[in-house]
């Protein structure tokens, strides 16, 4: 299996070298909005520890990422009036992974509304900023 690349885009976001629309952060995880969302509020949750994907992540880091994903999903239901949540996680190129730092997609869904195709349209940064602020406030309670 290939090794972890510390210069992947998510590693750069974790180091503060690239910006993101952050919705949650603690000592072990970071969650931010996808810039090409498949639905409003589409959030990525990743461990801060270097992990290429599910195949090499430490079990405790994986468990924590999923706990954060659950918090995000519950807040998305309220904030976006979602009827459900889609959770996606891809591993290696053959599995659909594009960025090689473990991340989980949490996508709020409305009944009868299809998700946009992946990586097709960049959302307006002002829209993402507003959504991130609203979602972060809901997570704080």
Active site residues: 103
Tokens for 52? 């290429």
Beta 104-109 vs 22-25: how paired, if at all? unpaired
CA distances from 45 to 66, 88, 100, 113 (A): 8, 11, 13, 23
């Amino acid at each position: 299996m290939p090794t972890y690349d510390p210069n992947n885009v998510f590693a750069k976001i974790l180091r503060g070298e690239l910006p993101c629309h952050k919705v949650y952060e603690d000592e072990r995880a970071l969650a931010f909005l996808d810039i090409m969302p498949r639905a409003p509020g589409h959030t990525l949750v990743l461990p801060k520890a270097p992990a290429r994907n599910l195949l090499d992540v430490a079990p405790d880091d994986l468990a924590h990422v999923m706990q954060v994903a659950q918090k995000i999903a519950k807040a998305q239901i309220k904030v976006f009036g979602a009827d459900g949540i889609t959770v996606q996680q891809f591993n290696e190129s053959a599995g659909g992974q594009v960025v090689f730092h473990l991340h989980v997609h949490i996508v709020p869904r409305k009944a009868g509304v299809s998700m946009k195709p992946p990586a097709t349209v960049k959302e307006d940064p002002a829209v993402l900023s507003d959504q991130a602020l609203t979602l972060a406030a809901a997570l704080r309670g």
